[in-house]
Amino acid sequence: MRLSIIIVSWNVRDELLDCLHSIEQNRPSHSYEVILVDNASTDGTIDAVQRDFRDVRSLVNAENRGFAAANNVGVEQARGHYILFLNPDTILHRNSLDVLIEFMDAHEDVGACGPKLLYGNGTIQPSVRHFPDFRSALYQNTVFRNLRLFHRQYRRYRMFDFDFETQTDVDIVMGAALMTRRSIIDELGAMDERFFMYYEEADLCYRIIKAGWRIVFVPQAVITHLGGSSADQLPIRTRIMRLKSLLTFFRKHRGRFNTWMFSCVFKSAILLKHICNIASGVFMCILATMTFNKRRRRKCAVKVRDSAQLLGQYSWQLLFRI
């Protein structure tokens, strides 16, 4: 078996069915299998897959175990020489799987690779990153963004100047479509289950590079990634999950003491950001009401609501439990 495609789903039946159709229509010339790991969906996912895709191996978790743990369930059952971690909200393009397989065959020093990702409207989706660092995290998540501090470090982390038409070595390829070798998983271990959601691919890529392998962006392979289908079901909670996973990454790879020192500033600056969001959002909402700008008023009201919800429901968890 050349390739095992592992897909984790949670209440995204329609997107998953479209993904499986795209695999059927653009199947590789090599032997492959599709393993679905469902995180206790309640939308009829398994019944629909078993009805329409009998060749797909469906594994069902009794509860939502998160992205990393569910992928590991799939890895335990996988028989392929290569493993492709694939999101359910993706659509394969012609020859995309063959391109990735043949690239890995031809480059024995490459431990993982990822395709060019497109949004649903056909534009390029940024899908590569440098490894996160303390300063870029402050800019991305806290009031430091309002002050424009560490903007240069954030641009470097997000790789804003990256050429998505050129094959290039990178630190991280997005976990929406990440191919690696089964031998590497056996050597380094699968995804770290402390990452319930987010940064699990960053951790895996970090370990792959530390072990001496390359990670490469391969633009000749193209996959559409609609994005956010599962995460959008819990928008505020997913922000907390993302922050928790980021700090888990830092504790693991930047040291617990350094991360503790950083988190003292980081968490306070996050709360300050949302306090500022409420104050500025209320002011702009009043201004939009006075100028009869309904669209701006709705946008500001959502901003105030989300920040108030985060402060009201999650500030204790943010400060003391992540």
Residue 237 lies in a domain: no
Residue 48 lies in a domain: yes
**Torsion of Cα atoms, 204 then 227 then 238 then 134, to 10°:** 50
293 and 169 in a common domain: no
Distance between CA atoms of residues 302 and 67, nearest Å: 28
Residue 239 lies in a domain: no
Residue 241 lies in a domain: no
Judged on CB neighbours under 10 Å (0-12, 13-18, 19+), 245 is buried
Backbone phi and psi for residue 38, each to the nearest 5 degrees, phi listed first: -100, 130
300 and 196 in a common domain: no
185 and 51 in a common domain: yes
Q: Domains in the chain: how many in total?
A: 3
The angle formed by the CA atoms of residues 100, 160 and 123, to the nearest 5 degrees, is 60
Q: For the chain, give me the number of helices (H) and strands (E)?
A: 11, 12
47 and 73 in a common domain: yes
Is the overall model pTM greater than 0.75, yes or no? yes
187 and 69 in a common domain: yes
Per-residue pLDDT of the chain (322 residues; tens, 9 = 90+): 999 999 999 999 999 999 999 999 999 999 999 999 999 999 999 999 999 999 999 999 999 999 999 999 999 999 999 999 999 999 999 999 999 999 999 999 999 999 999 999 999 999 999 999 999 999 999 999 999 999 999 999 999 999 999 999 999 999 999 999 999 999 999 999 999 999 999 999 999 999 999 999 999 999 999 975 544 455 788 889 999 999 999 999 999 999 999 999 999 999 999 999 999 999 999 998 888 888 999 999 989 999 999 999 899 989 888 9
Domain extent for 31: 3-127+164-232
- Tell me the H-state helices in 53-133: 67-77, 96-106
156 and 122 in a common domain: no
Residue 79 lies in a domain: yes
201 and 69 in a common domain: yes
In 3-state terms, what secondary structure has residue 62?
A: coil
Query: Encoding tokens for residue 44?
Result: 């009829």
